[in-house]
Amino acid sequence: MGKKILVIEDDPTSQKFFQLVLAKEGYDVITSPNGLEGLRKVREESLDLIILDVMLPGIDGFEICNRLRTELRKTDLPIIMMSAKAQTSDRDAALKVGANAFLSKPVDRLVLLKTISGLFGTDNIQ
């Protein structure tokens, strides 16, 4: 079985994009439409990476990332944050709360896969 990736994204179309792209590369993908459910899945699942949207219902991605790093002590779990706003301030805020990478939406397939490969220390992009 491939590495397990949790995608926390409220847009169903974006969720489907990540599921299709990542499953095709051999990753096991689970999704969550909001931050609270995402945090629950982090507690329940053994994960290798999280892809996290900034703008979510309830609590935003910055707060989720901060909780993952501080409360849940998931310091070694790679987190890729993404936003459609794609402002420098969003990127800086994401890195400040502990994200390993920041991508602009819409996310390019090859950029996504290259970012994931870099975080996993591999270079097997199809």
pLDDT at 87: 82
pLDDT at 93 exceeding the cut of 70: yes
* Residue 80: pLDDT band with limits 50, 70, 90: very high
Q: Which residue bears the tokens 């969720």?
A: 15
Domain ranges of the chain: 4-120
pLDDT digits (tens, 9 = 90+) for 20-74: 999 999 999 999 999 999 999 999 999 999 999 999 999 999 999 999 999 999 9
Closest CA to 30 of 2, 54, 72: 2
pTM, to two decimals: 0.94
**CATH match for 4-120 among 3.10.310.30, 3.40.50.2300, 3.40.50.2000, 1.25.40.10:** 3.40.50.2300
